[in-house]
Amino acid sequence: MMDATNPSYLYAATNHVYRTTTGGLPAGSAGWTQISPDLTTASSVLSGGDFITAMAMDGHDTIVTGSYGGRIMLTTNASSASPTWENVTGFGIPAFSSSDYSGNPWITSLAVRGISVWATIGRVGGTAFHLMYVPLAAHNWQTLDGDPSQGSMSGGGVPLWIAVDPADADTLFLGRDSGGLAGSDGGVFVCGNCGGAVESPFTFWARVGAGMPNARVDAVTLANDGGSLVAWTHGRGAWSIVRKTKLSASPSPLDFGPQTVGDPPAQLSLTIQNLGLKDSSGLTTSISGPNAADFSVAAGTQPYLLSCVGGTVGALNKCTFLVSFKPSAEVTETATLTITDAQGASTTVTLTGKGGHPAVSFNPAAISFGSVGYRTDNVLYATATNTGTGPLQFKSATVTGSTDFSVAGGCLGGMRIAPGGTCQLFVEFLPRSVGDEAATLSVSDNTAGSPDLIQASGTSVQSSVTVTPSKLAFGDVLVGTSQSKGVTIQDSAAYPYVSDLPTGVGAPYSANDNCSSQIAAGSRCGISVTFAPTTMGEVDQTMTFTDNSTTSPHQIQITGRGVAPSASYSAAGLTFTNQRIGTISAAQTITITNQGTAPLHVGTIAIDTGPSADFTATDGCTGAVAANGGTCTIGVTFHSPTPGRFDAHLNVFSDSFTGANPEVLILSGTAVGPEVSLDNTSLHFGVEGPGQTSLGQTITVKNTGNADLVISAVGSPTDFPQTNTCTSAAVPADQTCTITVKFAPTAAGQRNVLLTITDNGISGQEQVFMSGTGFGASVFQRLSANMSSAPSVASSGPSRLDVVARGQDMALYYQYSTDGGLNWNGWNRIPANMTSAPAVTSSQPGRVDVVARGSDNALYYTYTIDNGAHWVYWQRIAANTTSAPAVTSSAAGRIDLVVRGTDNALYYTYTTDGGAHWVYWQRIAATVTADPSITSWGGRLDAFVRGTDNALYHTWSTDGGKTWAYWQRISANMAAGPASATWGQGRLDVFAVGRDSNTYHTWSTDGATTWHYWELVGGFPLSSNAAAVSRSAYHVDLFGRGPDKALDYDYLNPF
């Protein structure tokens, strides 16, 4: 395709568009440049791929392309270095359809001019589509199928080429195939209103010329001056036709018929059509002939056509003239109208008309209505005949005499009545009084004898009717419902019946009248009255209505009573006093009395608001409760397993018209008796050696009831000796006694036993679970310190323990032992200002790594390799944390770190270069409520946190922290964050401080698949999180801050 503004610019297309600015030389990529992406559907429509089959250009920059599969793309900066392309396939143009596929490309041709784009699609019977392009807007294509009433392309051909007139963007030429080897649908078609800046409401297509062979038209071109059109057929050569104008007029001749001499001019429309392929311009008109002076021409328009005179009529377009005729004599007149354009085409129309004068006669000359019903509407008419030679036209009518007569419609509708024609003059008689009436009708028209007088007369007579019944008695009607009754009016056969709307009817009555319009004589109609009471009581009214009968007005007596049930209750509630706990009271009753005038129906009864299980209701009100004093009862009992006062609501649902629904009755009950409350239901003593006795643990027994509690016995196994203050005397209400238990194992092994308390409470016996282990010695040490945080511990070598804690001055303090905790070197101060407990690990033998939170909530890291003599300068790890950190070393030279963020989730990072660089924080979804803990074994990371329910939660990673397992819940009631350690494959030991400040221990030997029941670590109460490390197999060292802020140390061996 060549750029018409610069022949050096050539464009070619595959599935891309290529451009050359040198006329295509040199050949190949050196002379051609790709200027588009893939502009096709690729393989989304055609499995074998898609390619561009049509391309059109306007000016130097606008190019539109279409593909075999149906995609249309457009650019408006084609000459730029990198044109931008927009998909304008949009809406309205059919998508590729295999069922409509004709073997031709789906986009067979394109044309573009300004903002107008035209496309044809390769389906049988297809036509063209038009788009008015707006950049980056919704692209809505309009079909150009044509208006069958004006001209369209019918048949089965496929449109193959479209071209736009270079001088007129409204004119399109389309070539299509013949619709098969023996088809007759080929040829060239033209549309004169198929484009431009404004869409036409419908389009007009016509076949161009005659004489062409019935062959496929592959292309249509126009000469640059637009003077000739060439059709390029498939195998039958090129065919040319010269474009010219051709005028025709319709209707011809134009006959005005008879017209009245002296009336305003009559006007008729004359349509001029340009049947040529060239625009017709400079239209002029002339009128000649013997009566030319009585005819004239004025320009006119129709919504979709052009103004004719002096204007332009496009190829295959139309316009209209308005031609006027005003006769000067009572003769037949003729003239000739000639229309000529500047291109030399012309056409003539014969104009005819006849002048005359109208005359009128009426039949009958007088209108008599005879006897009619009083207040009824009656209509008669007189036929007016034009007995003259010119059109007759009536103007107005007036009435003198009785005002019950009037003239309307018919002849007065403004019509022109031709000579010999007729119309009806309608006269209406609506008598408003009884007796004889008469009037004179004066009718004005365009005759010489106007006005014409017509006499009208009639007699008004009252009707005779029968009204039944004279009373409407509704009786009892339930409030909230309605009933209807009717009054029937039977008219006599003499005259129609007319009535007014009834009066005197008001709430709770309403009337629906179907008699208010006129009904035929002898007919029947009715008035429906509805009674819808909203209150109880008698309501009487009188309904009055007037009509055209001799017995008017009529009065109907209406009576009715609204009835409804009305429930009253014998009490507003029930009270139960001093009911022994665990027993059921005697039933109390509430009586419901129906004081209303209709049966009462009690629906459901329900107890809510409070511990409703303490009250039980028995419904004795099923079925209907008789009106005017009928009764039923509801029984209620009270029972409570615990002492105290209990309140509830008894809700009674019914259809009572009065009161609330539900009716709410107050229930109150007081239960008496002792009740046992234990402050601890499990005791865990940890490990004690044979012959040793643990410290005592105390159970406080409280009587939360309201009667004396008598404890008759406390039973405890031999290894758990007990003393108590409970069996010596009764325990009054709200008082306590104590039971103290110790663990004194007489043999090795785990003990899981029950302590029993026998009493006069509702259960009769309480139980306390107790556990202890009869072996596993522990060595307890207390190291002098004044700690302000929990400690942290690591092992940087065999038998070595490294402990770090925060002092009261917010600095960190460090000391170590090289003989498994038997001897310690003393505290060494590490200058700092930390806001959390420290975390310590050993990433290399002989190296101690420390992390803590600073005052800016970031983390800070340091380490020592010379037993704490020197510490490297603190390194800041960017973060915004809300807990102490936890660290471990999952591989030599690696430090793994977790901490809680501001969103309470857990965050993880690590370093493999001695803390010089830390990887980006990874978020582990959670809601953490205390300091976390982390340990590692075999390259696996195990993290532990406390959840919102104070239970222990565990997750792990086996790929270096890239992914983490779902959280595992381990039942607990923790008062602080956990501590964790490991000393073998699959072995995990976790320590937590309970709500009693004691330290508890659980462990897993199968990598957290199962966990051992929590055991108490005896004699190790803490005021901080615990800290744990394993310096060798089968050995865990446990540290914590004691109640006196000193460092407490213990180890467990064996387990």
pLDDT tens string 8-33: 889 999 999 999 988 888 887 788 99
Instruction: Indicate whether 197 pLDDT > 70.
Output: no
Amino acid at position 288, single letter: S
pLDDT at position 1054 is 41
Residue 568 contacts residue 593 (beta carbons within 8 Å): yes
Q: What's the mean pLDDT in 401-424?
A: 90
Reading the block at residue 789, the tokens are 């945080």
DSSP 711-756: EEEEE--TTS-EEESSSSS-B-TT-EEEEEE----SSSSEEEEEEE
1001 three-state secondary structure? strand
DSSP state of 310: T
In this prediction, what percent of the chain has a pLDDT beyond 70? 93
Please provide residue 292's backbone torsions phi and psi, each rounded to the nearest 5 degrees: -55, -30
pLDDT at position 158 is 82
Q: What's the mean pLDDT in 451-465?
A: 93
Digit-coded pLDDT (tens) for 43-55 = 767 777 899 999 9
Digit-coded pLDDT (tens) for 912-926 = 998 999 999 999 999
pLDDT at position 48 is 76
Q: How confident is the model at residue 153 (pLDDT cuts 50, 70, 90)?
A: low
DSSP state of 95: P
DSSP 524-585: EEEEEEEE--SSSEEEEEEEEE-BSBTT-SEEEEEEEEEE---EEES-SEEEEEEEETTSBP
Contacts of range 763-768, beta carbons closer than 8 Å, 24 or more positions apart:
763/676, 766/676, 766/678, 766/701, 767/681, 768/678, 768/680, 768/681, 768/682, 768/683, 768/699
d(CA 422, CA 257): 17
d(CA 932, CA 955): 11
Instruction: Indicate whether 96 pLDDT > 70.
Output: yes
Instruction: Indicate whether 861 pLDDT > 90.
Output: yes
DSSP 317-367: -EEEEEEEE--SSSSEEEEEEEEE-TTS-EEEEEEEEEEE---EEEESSEE
Instruction: Indicate whether 148 pLDDT > 60.
Output: no
Instruction: Indicate whether 149 pLDDT > 60.
Output: no
pLDDT at position 52 is 93
- Tokens 């009305």 correspond to 566
Instruction: Indicate whether 152 pLDDT > 60.
Output: no
Q: How confident is the model at residue 201 (pLDDT cuts 50, 70, 90)?
A: low
Give first-to-last CA distance, the chain, whole Å: 91
pLDDT at position 150 is 43
Task: Write the CB contacts of 470 (distance below 8 Å, at least 6 apart in sequence).
Answer: 555, 556, 557
Residue 357 contacts residue 389 (beta carbons within 8 Å): yes
Residue with the larger pLDDT of the pair 685 and 792? 792
Instruction: Indicate whether 300 pLDDT > 80.
Output: no
Please provide residue 903's backbone torsions phi and psi, each rounded to the nearest 5 degrees: -95, 10
- Helices first, then strands: H and E counts in the chain: 0, 87
Residue 625 contacts residue 587 (beta carbons within 8 Å): no
pLDDT at position 303 is 39
pLDDT at position 134 is 87
Catalogue all structural domains in the chain, each as residue range(s) with its CATH number: 10-242 (2.120.10.30), 247-355 (2.60.40.10), 360-461 (2.60.40.10), 465-561 (2.60.40.10), 567-668 (2.60.40.10), 676-773 (2.60.40.10), 778-1052 (2.120.10.70)
Q: How confident is the model at residue 180 (pLDDT cuts 50, 70, 90)?
A: low
Instruction: Indicate whether 937 pLDDT > 90.
Output: yes
Least confident among 151-165, 284-298, 566-580, 794-808: 151-165
Residue with the larger pLDDT of the pair 677 and 276? 677
- For 356, 701, 839, the CA distances from 857, given in Å and listed in that order, are 112, 46, 15
Q: What's the mean pLDDT in 820-838?
A: 93
Q: What's the mean pLDDT in 810-828?
A: 93
| Integer Rg of the chain from CA | 55
Phi-psi region of 582 (alpha: psi -120 to 50; beta: other; left: phi over 0): left
Amino acid at position 168, single letter: D
Query: Which strands form 1015-1017's sheet, in the order they lie side by side?
Result: 979-981, 988-993, 999-1004, 1015-1017
Instruction: Indicate whether 706 pLDDT > 60.
Output: yes
Burial class for 1035, CB neighbours closer than 10 Å (0-12, 13-18, 19+):
middle
Digit-coded pLDDT (tens) for 635-661 = 999 998 888 888 999 999 998 989 898
292 three-state secondary structure? helix
Q: How confident is the model at residue 234 (pLDDT cuts 50, 70, 90)?
A: confident
Instruction: Indicate whether 80 pLDDT > 50.
Output: yes
d(CA 998, CA 790): 15
As a whole number, the mean pLDDT across the chain is 88
pLDDT at position 777 is 37
Residue 988 contacts residue 982 (beta carbons within 8 Å): yes
pLDDT at position 833 is 95
d(CA 759, CA 714): 9
Digit-coded pLDDT (tens) for 477-532 = 999 999 999 999 999 888 899 999 999 999 999 999 998 788 889 999 999 999 99
Residue with the larger pLDDT of the pair 876 and 603? 876
Task: Write the CB contacts of 354 (distance below 8 Å, at least 6 apart in sequence).
Answer: 256, 257, 258, 259, 327, 330, 331, 332, 333, 389
Instruction: Indicate whether 1018 pLDDT > 70.
Output: no
Digit-coded pLDDT (tens) for 333-367 = 999 999 898 888 889 999 999 988 999 999 999 99
d(CA 812, CA 837): 9
pLDDT at position 581 is 85
Digit-coded pLDDT (tens) for 326-336 = 998 888 999 99
